[in-house]
Amino acid sequence: MTAVAQPAVATRGPLDDAHEQLADACRVLGYDEGTMKMLAAPRREVTVSIPLRRDNGDIEVLTGHRVQHNLSRGPAKGGLRFSPHVDLDEVRALAMWMSWKCALMDLPYGGAKGGVTIDPAGYSEAELERVTRRYTSEILPVIGPNKDIPAPDIGTDERTMAWMMDTVSVASGYTVLGTVTGKPVSLGGSLGRASATSLGVAQIAFAALNHLGMAYDATTAAVQGFGKVGRGAARFLHLAGIRVLAVSDAFGGVWNPAGLDIPALEAHVDGTGSVVGFTGAQPIDNAALLTAEVDLLVPAAVEGVLHEGNAGDVRARLIVEGANGPTTTAADAILAERGVLVVPDILANAGGVVVSYFEWVQANQAYWWSEAEVEARLADRMTSAWHQVLAEAEALELSLRAAATCLAVRRVAEAHRQRGLYP
Element (H, E) at 380: helix 371-396
- Between CA 118 and CA 120 the distance in angstroms is 6
* Coil vs helix vs strand at 224: strand
Residue 243: beta bridge partners?
Answer: 220
Element (H, E) at 46: strand 44-53
113 among known catalytic residues:
yes
User: Which residues lie below 8 Å from residue 231, measured CB to CB, with a gap of 6+?
Assistant: 198, 266, 269
Contact (CB, 8 A) for 135 and 160 = no
Report residue 84 CA to chain centroid gap: 18
User: Which residues lie below 8 Å from residue 267, measured CB to CB, with a gap of 6+?
Assistant: none
- Between CA 121 and CA 107 the distance in angstroms is 34
Q: Give the alpha-carbon dihedral of 318, 409, 364, 353, to 10 degrees.
A: 20
Residue 58: beta bridge partners?
Answer: none
Sheet holding 44-53, edge to edge: 44-53, 59-68, 110-117, 76-83, 148-152
- CB-neighbour burial class of residue 168 (10 A; exposed 0-12, middle 13-18, buried 19+): buried
Q: Among residues 113, 147, 183, 228, which one is catalytic?
A: 113
Residues annotated as part of the active site: 113
